[in-house]
């Protein structure tokens, strides 16, 4: 543990518990982190904010040793970390955004998993009492430590995972979106646990989109944007507006001039949702979408907003309620069924579900419409080529790239292929989940332009996004979901992004503040 020498002026330089210098991470052509310097003071609760894709998760993965940086070094409490090797959980312990609960192990086993204190011989008795106490404190007194983790609710599992992080007694504990599924009560308990840890000398990093919580809990806040660290400020010196602006990057008000919004026109209803709900995930909602309307569905992680889109696409077999397209009741119990009714879907995970990386662009684009380019079972290559070419040109994909494998394209082009693939169906309703995640500005603009052009032909476009910019640039209308219920339905021409952000973060407002 290197103690920094006192400076000449006699002022004490705070000994940094974490010192990240010149960290850079590139995945092929995509730069996730651009030369980041980051430091933590011991005993502070440090907030980390930024939009999706800003670089927070990459930083966390590198700190945890799950990913090796392309450049740069990390020093924890005087010890340099070996890149690419799993960091000693006693130095840095991470509670990830995606739960790493093992459903088939007991709660006790889950809490103690990976704990180096435990040793090879794993005698339950030795740790049972301590685990019991920790669980009681965090609000899981009703949970039996021997029951399989599978039986717990999502929120309970999240609390178990936080308990695991807390029990490790690490020097630095990183909590990545820990409160997504928790109730207010549970959130307060987590905060109490965090404060207790801080009092014991640990340093906490709190990553969250939920700005009120950031303001409540943290001492300092660092903002990331586009892979760079934008600022580090003492929380007390910061206002919500300033924080939002730092995260988004532009003056929110100025954005109004950039986007084109179609003026409110009377549109015949094309899609109607009646009492539409996925039990346990979001409450029944009624929605009417007009012909050619572009609707953004937004909400925080855990709000259920993304599930609205997924359910419409046919990915939630167990939905209840009615979907009506062009006046006819349709069932979307599977993606095949949805496609049959003219509902096409572009998933969020484009590498996993959106495109076939090892297949050519042409093959990808014609995937869903093979029946239209087949005769007597045989593919009509000429016709398929023509269609692919047409769709590629719509989305400004270089026709010379048609025979290339999609894995060789940039993220932006891959996404264009994914969207072209769905549009090939000539759908009545086009659904997109995070339409431009990981896509460069140029491709983004092209995609927006094309989607708007498609909407003009009468296609209904509904998309889920966590990018406020995107709502503003693309959508005519934005529906906000908060904790499973619709809390706002605004026309983009008349709403500012501040309003939308407020809806997302705070939920229901007074009736008088609600726009028509």
CB nearer to another protein: give 247 or 409. Answer: 409
Distance CA 407, CA 363 (A): 13
Nearest to another protein of 208, 368 (CB atom): 368
Helix, coil or strand: residue 304: coil
- Residue placing its CB nearer to another protein in the complex, 208 or 366: 366
Smallest gap, in angstroms, from Cβ of residue 465 to another protein?
Answer: 19
**CB-CB contact of 82 with 149 (8 Å):** no
Taking the least distance from each CB to another protein, the nearer of 238 and 276 is 276
For the bound state, the minimum distance from the C-beta of residue 237 to another protein, rounded and expressed in Å, comes to: 33
Query: Please, which residue, 301 or 493, has the CB nearer to another protein?
Result: 301
**Smallest gap, in angstroms, from Cβ of residue 354 to another protein?**
7
Residue in the block written with tokens 């209904």: 460
Q: How far apart are CA 211 and CA 488, in angstroms?
A: 19
CA dihedral 290, 291, 292, 296 (to 10 degrees): 30
Q: How near is the Cβ of 185 to another protein at its closest, in Å?
A: 8
Q: Which is nearer to another protein, 119 or 327 (CB)?
A: 119
Query: What is the phi/psi pair of residue 109, to 5°?
Result: -60, -40
Shortest Å, Cβ 232 to another protein: 27
Cα-flanking dihedrals φ and ψ of residue 2, to 5°?
A: -80, 125
Nearer to another protein, 149 or 243 (CB): 149
Considering beta carbons, is residue 222 or 363 the nearer one to another protein? 363
Nearest CB to another protein, comparing residues 256 and 440 = 440
CB of 3 to another protein, least distance (A): 31
315-to-89, 153, 336, 366, 370 alpha-carbon distances in Å = 37, 21, 10, 21, 21
Which strand ranges, in their side-by-side order, compose the sheet holding 269-278? Answer: 282-290, 269-278, 320-325, 328-330
Quick one: 4 or 393, whose CB is closer to another protein? 393
C-alpha distances in Å from residue 37, one per residue of 19, 24, 80, 218, 232: 8, 9, 15, 20, 11
Minimum distance from CB of 73 to another protein (Å)? 23
Q: To the nearest whole angstrom, how small is the minimum distance from the Cβ of residue 16 to another protein?
A: 26
Contact (CB, 8 A) for 435 and 470:
yes
Nearer to another protein, 362 or 476 (CB): 362
CB of 115 to another protein, least distance (A): 7
Show Cβ contacts of residue 513 under 8 Å, excluding neighbours closer than 6 positions: none
The rounded distance, in Å, linking the Cα atoms of 374 and 368 is 12
d(CA 289, CA 364) in angstroms, rounded, equals 29
Contact 45, 236 (CB under 8 A): no
Q: Which is nearer to another protein, 182 or 211 (CB)?
A: 182
Closest Cα partner for 206 from 107, 193, 13? Answer: 193
For 398-420, b/e burial (b = at least 16 CB within 10 A) is eeebbeeebeebbbbbbbbbbbb
Cβ proximity of 162 and 96 under 8 Å:
no
What are the residues whose beta carbons fall under 8 Å from the beta carbon of 451, sequence distance 6 or more?
294, 419, 430, 435, 461, 474
Question: How far is Cα 477 from Cα 249, in angstroms, rounded to an integer?
Answer: 22
Least Cβ distance, residue 336 to another protein (angstroms): 5
Alpha-helical segments (H) within 314-366 = 335-340, 361-365
């Amino acid at each position: 543990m290197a103690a920094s020498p006192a400076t000449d002026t006699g002022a004490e330089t705070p000994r940094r518990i974490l010192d990240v210098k010149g960290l850079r991470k590139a995945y092929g052509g995509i730069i996730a982190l651009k030369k980041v310097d980051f430091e933590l003071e011991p005993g502070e609760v440090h907030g980390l904010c930024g939009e999706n894709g800003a670089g927070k998760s990459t930083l966390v993965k590198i700190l945890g040793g799950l990913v090796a940086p392309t450049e740069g070094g990390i020093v924890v409490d005087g010890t340099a970390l070996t890149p690419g090797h799993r960091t000693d959980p006693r130095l840095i312990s991470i509670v990830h955004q995606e739960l790493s609960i093992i459903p088939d192990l007991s709660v006790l086993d889950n809490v103690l998993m990976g704990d180096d204190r435990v040793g090879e011989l794993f005698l339950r008795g030795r740790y049972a009492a301590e685990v019991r106490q920790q669980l009681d404190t965090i609000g899981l007194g009703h949970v039996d430590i021997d029951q399989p983790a599978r039986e717990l609710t999502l929120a309970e599992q999240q609390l178990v995972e936080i308990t695991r992080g807390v029990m490790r007694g690490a020097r630095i504990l990183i909590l990545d979106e820990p409160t997504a599924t928790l109730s207010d009560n549970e959130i307060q308990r987590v905060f109490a646990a965090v404060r207790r840890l801080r009092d014991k000398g640990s340093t906490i990093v709190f990553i969250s989109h939920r700005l009120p919580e950031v303001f409540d809990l943290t001492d300092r806040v660092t903002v990331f944007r586009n892979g760079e660290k934008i600022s580090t400020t003492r929380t007390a010196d910061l206002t919500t507006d300033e924080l939002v602006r730092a995260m988004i990057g532009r003056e929110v008000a100025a954005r109004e001039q950039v986007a084109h919004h179609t003026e409110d026109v009377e549109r015949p209803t094309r899609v109607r949702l009646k009492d539409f709900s996925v039990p346990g995930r979001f409450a029944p909602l009624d929605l009417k979408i007009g012909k050619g309307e572009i609707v953004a569905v937004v909400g925080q992680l855990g709000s259920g907003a993304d599930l609205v889109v997924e359910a419409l696409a046919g990915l939630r077999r167990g939905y209840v309620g009615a979907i009506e397209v062009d006046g006819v009741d349709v069932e979307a119990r599977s993606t095949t069924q949805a496609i049959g009714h003219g509902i096409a879907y572009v998933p969020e995970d484009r590498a996993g579900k959106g495109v076939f990386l090892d297949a050519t662009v042409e093959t990808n684009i014609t995937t869903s419409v093979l029946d239209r380019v087949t005769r007597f079972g045989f593919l009509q290559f000429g016709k398929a080529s023509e269609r692919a070419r047409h769709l590629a040109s719509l989305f400004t994909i270089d026709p010379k790239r048609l025979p290339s494998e999609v894995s060789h394209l940039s993220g932006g082009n891959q996404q264009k292929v994914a969207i072209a693939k769905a549009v090939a169906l000539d759908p009545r309703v086009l659904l997109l989940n995070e339409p431009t995640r990981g896509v460069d500005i140029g491709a983004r603009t092209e995609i927006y332009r094309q989607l708007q052009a498609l909407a003009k032909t009468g296609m209904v476009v509904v998309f889920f996004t966590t990018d406020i910019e995107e709502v503003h640039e693309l959508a005519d209308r934005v529906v906000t979901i908060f904790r499973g219920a619709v809390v706002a339905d605004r026309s983009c021409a008349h709403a500012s992004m501040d309003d939308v952000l407020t809806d997302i973060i705070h939920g229901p407002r007074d009736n008088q503040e609600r726009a028509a």
